[in-house]
Amino acid sequence: MISQPPVLVAQITDTHLFADPTEGKMYGLPTESSFLKVLEKLKQLQPQPDVLLLTGDLSQDETSESYQRLASLPK
């Protein structure tokens, strides 16, 4: 039997991003800057995750612009 290395998976859920990040707050917290801070923390992990899953409510305002904004954010 060939041993396979484990796959390290990171998951971020419920980003609740808005098309306009200046108006994008939930419970008083800016959702986009919070998401970006989580991404920065992920970059510090050693070893790095092999896969990043984005799940749950990615958009709060349910606009195509908010999904486009998510796709355009730095990885």
In sequence order, what DSSP letters do the residues of 31-49 get, joined into one string?
A: HHHHHHHHHHHHHT-SSPP
What burial class does residue 10 get, using C-beta atoms within 10 Å of its C-beta: 0-12 exposed, 13-18 middle, 19+ buried? middle
- Count Cβ atoms below 10 Å from residue 69 Cβ, excluding itself: 18
DSSP run (H or E) holding 13? strand 9-13
**pLDDT tens-digit profile of 42-61?**
999 999 999 999 999 999 99
Domain residue spans of the chain: 9-72
- As a whole-number percent, the residues of the chain with pLDDT over 90 amount to 84
CB 53 within 8 A of CB 16: no
Q: CA-CA distance, 2 to 16, in Å (whole number)?
A: 42
- pTM for this entry: 0.86
Tell me what the mean pLDDT of segment 2-28 comes to: 93
Domain 9-72 annotated CATH 3.40.640.10: no
